[in-house]
Amino acid sequence: MTSTATNANTTPLFQSQRQREIASLTMQAGRVEVADLAVRYKVTTETIRRDLSELQSHRLVRRVHGGAVPWETAGFEPLLSVRNDQHDAEKRRLAAAAVNELPDTGSVIIDSGSTLATFARAVPADTSIRIVTNALNIAQVLSENSSADVIVIGGKVRKNTLAMVDTQAIAAIEPITVDTLFISSDALSAPTGLSTPYREEAALKQAMIRSARRVVALVDHSKFGSEMFIRFAEWSDIDVLITNNEADATDVAAIEAAGTTVVLT
């Protein structure tokens, strides 16, 4: 049984904030317990049960005896609006460091995800490079806030993430060659690499890696030490990992030993 009582908040959260965190915790841990959550958020167990019922009504979790599990155990994917609120300060630090990895000229791919959406907002307004992305929200940010030449690859839009990750998206990526790929991950393991629970997303990420001369991964420290269903990259595929100072030092040393440059923010 996974405990969710560690790192308890020291200040009360608004109900919506608490529910967003509970949804994220459920995805990360696979199961959360009512009693642990009550301790973590300093509220009654009745309040937590109401939170779980509300999240279930939005198809984010399923109530089980004493707690909750993800709505779809093998394929749970939180709404982009929920993920955008998670570890926001850490993501901004990653984004600021990633700007230094942008080429002066040429082309890049920016993968989908909340961390890379934060990076897109940090791209300098005078950037004149060509940027390819599979995410509608990232394309919109870049088009509105920079002079970059923005190209969106086609495919079916995944409503939760506003990204295209199907076979049509893969076919659009395969003939492309870019200078740098900026990619993120649902999970990071020092021994094995980067992984995701989603098969289509893994296949697209692998196609993106094949299309790039250089790969920069932005992964915040909360993703460390976990492995999900499909590994899409080994450390030999990743040239630079940008993560937070809070990342486990032993893991960082192992990743560097594998030949990946680690940038701590």
Whether residues 184 and 59 share a domain: the answer is no
Whether residues 202 and 89 share a domain: the answer is yes
Q: What share of the chain is helix, strand, coil (3-state, %, to 5)?
A: 40, 25, 35
**pLDDT tens figures, 52-95:** 999 988 888 889 888 998 876 544 444 444 444 556 889 999 99
CATH number of the CATH domain containing 224: 3.40.50.1360
For tokens 């990259």, name the residue: 233
Q: Is 204 inside any structural domain?
A: yes
14: tokens are 């608004």
Q: Is 6 inside any structural domain?
A: no
CA–CA distances in Å: residue 106 to residues 18, 145, 148, 208 = 43, 19, 11, 16
Give the residue from 55, 76, 97 where a domain finishes: 76
Q: How far apart are CA 152 and CA 139, in angstroms?
A: 7
Whether residues 36 and 88 share a domain: the answer is no
Whether residues 248 and 135 share a domain: the answer is yes
Q: Is 7 inside any structural domain?
A: no
232: enclosing H helix or E strand: strand 230-233
What pLDDT does residue 25 have?
84
**pLDDT tens figures, 124-136:** 999 999 999 999 9
Whether residues 201 and 111 share a domain: the answer is yes
Whether residues 53 and 182 share a domain: the answer is no
Say whether pLDDT at 5 is over 50. Answer: no
Q: Which residues contact 14 (CB under 8 A, 6 or more apart)?
A: none
**pLDDT tens figures, 113-122:** 999 999 999 9
pLDDT confidence bin for 158, thresholds 50/70/90:
confident
Q: Is 63 inside any structural domain?
A: yes
| Mean pLDDT value of segment 133-160 | 93
Torsion angle defined by CA atoms of residues 32, 38, 42 and 46, in that order, rounded to the nearest 10 degrees: 130
Whole-model pTM: value is 0.72
Q: Which residues contact 4 (CB under 8 A, 6 or more apart)?
A: 25, 29, 32, 33, 36, 37, 40
**pLDDT tens figures, 180-195:** 999 999 899 999 999 9
What's the domain range around 41? Answer: 15-76
